[in-house]
Amino acid sequence: MTTEGAIRVGLVGFGLGGSVFHAPLISATPGLALVAVVTRDRERATSVRTRFPQARVVPEVHELWEADDLDLIVISTVNSAHVPLGLAALEAGLPVVIDKPLAPNAAGGQQLIEEARARGVMLSVFQNRRWDSDFLTMRSMLDDGAIGSPTRFESRYERWRPSIRADAWRERPGRDEAGGLLFDLGSHLIDQAMQLFGRPTHVYGELDARRPGSAVADDAFVALQHRGGVRSHLWMSAVARLHGPRFRVLGTAGAFESFGLDGQEDALASGADPRDPGWGTEPPERWGTLATEDGERAVQSLRGDYPAFYAGVEHAIRAGGPPPVDPGDSVDGLRVIEAAARSAADHAVVAMAWPDG
């Protein structure tokens, strides 16, 4: 693979996010070239050399700032490192993509935004679930008025993982660690709800540590009251043996319901190529159901499109346009996460005061 004319990418981290999502999607995007990966882990380094032989492996992140052959940095590390690594990349004058959550708190996220603005370089956040097949399908039906005016939105990411991994960084307590499901799955659920219905006026949260030995939230519920009157109910759990609907949205003229997760993550994990012609398609048994006064019918799922994120990054860098995900959206999501945590601690609904009123 030639890097001539391509935007040269350095990837920091090769855990689940780096190996399953970022590296394959970067490598499949026309105009991007993965040229460096930072990892100290020997097995991961071997995996990089096997799967992405065009990329060099470096053990220390400072080697990226010192190199003169990079045009973009992608950060897929522990959440606590997002802000310092993001700031270092921006200070080096490099555009940056940071995996969600953007930061452990809204203040840190805003600091990144201000640094990117001051440097005049792109900053974006990997909120890939905006390109889930079921989310795109549901959003299209809302735009078309298929269920009338929406009134209630339900969204779930539920798993059955009753045992904790003591060495997993997402299990670490502490405000700066940003561990637990509220920052992990909640970042996606809240982002999707706000993409559909805007900023909430009120937030309510319930956070529990259900698994033996767990020190972070592994079973959570967040309710949002949106300005337009829609209520969003969001569930995330590691202790759900039976799963509820992935999406259920009720409206004045109908409802839509779907089950199961978008298949793109599993496809990436199995080594499928995002450039394959059938990428992002869902089989009929995974399609959702639309119910109106005319009865119930299956709705063919729109194609999922995770590759659209890095295509948007490539276009933003070359054309100077907006990034595929505005980091300000992610800061808004972090403010909601912080409000949900306060609500759970105080057993009270939190009224939101947004910076622009």
CATH code for the domain of 65: 3.40.50.720
Q: Tell me, what's the pLDDT at 91? A: 95
Average pLDDT over residues 346-350: 97
At residue 173, does pLDDT exceed 90?
no
Check whether residue 296 and residue 317 sit in a common domain.
no
Number of domains in the chain: 2
pLDDT attached to residue 1: 44
Of 186, 37, 21, 13, which is closest to residue 101 (Cα–Cα)? 186
Give the span between the Cα atoms of 311 and 326, in whole angstroms. Answer: 15
Average pLDDT of the chain to the nearest whole number: 95
Is the domain of 315 the same as that of 344? no
Of residues 301, 327, 340, the one with CA closest to residue 185: 340
Lookup result for tokens 């970067």:
26
Q: What is the pLDDT of residues 55-64, one digit of tens each?
A: 999 999 999 9
Q: pLDDT digit string (tens) for 113-128? A: 999 999 999 999 999 9
Instruction: Provide φ and ψ at 255, rounded to 5°.
Output: -155, 160
One-character DSSP codes across 209-235:
--STT--S-SEEEEEEEETTS-EEEEE
Q: Identify whether residues 119 and 188 lie together within a single domain.
A: no
What percent of the chain stands above pLDDT 70?
98
Q: Is 222 contained in some domain?
A: yes
What type of residue sits at position 36? Answer: A
Q: Which domain holds residue 116?
A: 7-128+309-322
Query: Are both 143 and 191 inside the same structural domain?
Result: yes
∠ CA(169), CA(173), CA(175), 5° rounding?
105
Percent of the chain with pLDDT over 90: 90
pLDDT digits (tens, 9 = 90+) for 68-121: 899 999 999 999 999 999 999 999 999 999 999 999 999 999 999 999 999 999
Would you tell me the crossing angle of helices 106-119 and 327-346 to the nearest 10 degrees? 170
117/136 same-domain check: no
Choose among 224, 229, 230, 172: nearest CA to 343. Answer: 224
Tell me the angle at which helices 185-197 and 133-144 cross, rounded to the nearest 10 degrees.
Answer: 20
- 158 and 121 both lie in a single domain: no
61 touches 85 (CB < 8 A): yes
Domain assignment present for 2: no
User: Does residue 255 share a domain with residue 346?
Assistant: yes
Which residues, listed in sequence order, are joined to residue 207 by a DSSP beta bridge? 220
Average pLDDT over residues 302-319: 98
Residue 20 has pLDDT above 70, yes or no: yes
CA atoms of 199 and 129, how far apart (whole Å): 18
